[in-house]
Amino acid sequence: MLTVIRRILSYTKPCRKELFGMLFFALIGTGLSLFVPILIGKAVDCVVAAHEVNFPQLWKIILVLALTIAVSAVFQWLMSLCTNRLAAHTIRDLRCDLFTHLQHVPLRYIDGQARGDLIGRAVSDMEIISDGFLQAFTQFVTGVFTILGTLIFMLTINVRITILVVILTPISLLVAAKITQMSRSSYLKSSDARGALGGLVEEMIGSQKVVKAFTYETRADTPGNEKRQYIGSTDEVLSEKTAFLKRSYPIPEYIIASPMKRCVQTAKRIWGTDLSGCPIVLEPLMRECDFGQFEGKTYEQLKKNAAYIKWLKSGGITAFPGGEDQEEFRKRCVEGMKKQVRFLIARHVKYAAFVVHGGTIMAVMHALYEEKKDFYNWQVENGSGYLVSVSEKEWENGIELLKNAEKRSGR
């Protein structure tokens, strides 16, 4: 702890003028403030009894008292000015050194730290040091001068009381030191908690659309969803708890589905026996994205993973480590959609259902819908989706757009 204090105090060296000015003004201001009670005592002594007041002497004391208070206030203001300048310059140099240091640390350190934690160190912790400077120099220095001044004035008044104060003061200092030592561990825990909270705000809340889009939120549709796992290429079956509202969607003439079990099972649970005579066409291009190293893992397992943190910071657009590139994923989904729409138009199908994954829906709507929106604005809950229409003539002429989107909930 003393080593840290020495390192911080070393940053005050360029501000010697402010430091000495603060000490000088604190000494004068404290001395004058201690002189005020003595003057008040002398003013009281001028009042002997009723109608026995030494007014000439009393007015002199009042004048000196007013002048002392005014000069003491000026010196205390000058002390605060020097203290603020000292703290501001010191924190500025600390932040500059921190920024310079961050430019030279290995990239793996930056990637391995939560962004909120780094921000907390550069902002919140620096503010705490700044507040500590102000309190330490203002209260500690004035406190020391107050104690020394009080002892000097008390010696001139009562030696016994002075000796009692000298005995009790070290005891209070020992108690304060013990409290400080005991609270240090709590402060460290508080600092860690602020870093974790900052990381949560910056990454989980700031990247909420990304996390939600890739199925971290609780949606009990597969065993992996129930555990809040990233489930992409894993071919899971639906949970027994999953139920859909059949009336949300009309009975289709064709069903285009991802080849993954959960999509085929979703189609069967929505329409059930109504699917008799309705073919299910599997489209591999519209399967879910491969999450690579994140596959089957939860946020709690990944939150300190450098690759995961880097991916979150990118807004979820970079490739999954060991998995699929986002651009390639979106491209193949759109290609699969176009392929199947052309297939349906050739057969003059009036109504068809695409039972695919949330990421696939977002990729298709983002690329093909006539009104352009942000990718993550097309998110839907499991079992939900969009009713859209296409113009056969436009598609035959190369204008491949989806129109008239109507959001439907399957729950």
Handedness of CA 237, 239, 240, 244 (dihedral sign): negative
Write the DSSP assignment of 166-235 as a string of letters: HHHHHHHHHHHHHHHHHHHHHHHHHHHHHHHHHHIIIIIITTHHHHHHTT-S--TTSHHHHTTB--SSS-
DSSP class of 252: P
What does the radius of gyration of the chain's CA atoms come to, in whole angstroms?
A: 37
What is the pLDDT, as a whole number, of residue 216? 39
Alpha-carbon gap, residue 201 to 290, rounded angstroms: 27
What is the pLDDT, as a whole number, of residue 366? 92
The first and second tokens of residue 291, run together, are 């999450």
The string of pLDDT tens digits covering residues 184-197 is 677 667 766 665 66
Alpha-carbon gap, residue 279 to 276, rounded angstroms: 8
Alpha-carbon gap, residue 75 to 29, rounded angstroms: 5
Q: Are 210 and 126 a contacting pair, CB within 8 Å?
A: no
Q: Are 298 and 276 a contacting pair, CB within 8 Å?
A: no
Q: Are 114 and 202 a contacting pair, CB within 8 Å?
A: yes
The first and second tokens of residue 257, run together, are 């589905």
Question: Three-class SS of residue 113?
Answer: coil
User: Phi, psi (5° rounding) for residue 305?
Assistant: -75, 125
Q: How many helices (H) and strands (E) does the chain have?
A: 16, 7
Burial class (CB in 10 A: 0-12, 13-18, 19+), 255: buried
What is the pLDDT, as a whole number, of residue 286? 92
User: Phi, psi (5° rounding) for residue 232?
Assistant: -125, -85
Closest among 353, 364, 358 to 380, alpha carbons compared: 358
- Strands 280-282 and 254-257 turn out to be parallel
pLDDT along the chain (411 residues), means of 10: 70 80 85 84 79 82 90 89 83 81 73 61 72 70 78 78 78 78 71 62 52 43 66 79 61 89 83 75 90 82 78 74 86 93 91 89 91 85 84 90 84 56
Alpha-carbon gap, residue 137 to 82, rounded angstroms: 10
DSSP class of 370: S
Partners of residue 386 on adjacent β-strands: 407
| 279-299: burial string, b at 16+ Cβ within 10 Å, e else | ebeebebbbbbbbbbbbbbeb
What is the pLDDT, as a whole number, of residue 268? 82
Alpha-carbon gap, residue 255 to 31, rounded angstroms: 90
Closest among 49, 66, 35 to 157, alpha carbons compared: 35
Give whole-number Cα distances, 271 to 217, 247, 280, in Å.
26, 9, 12
The string of pLDDT tens digits covering residues 261-285 is 888 888 887 777 566 778 889 999 9
What is the pLDDT, as a whole number, of residue 273? 59
Q: Are 371 and 396 a contacting pair, CB within 8 Å?
A: no
Q: Are 388 and 408 a contacting pair, CB within 8 Å?
A: no
Cα angle 11, 12, 13; round to 5? 95
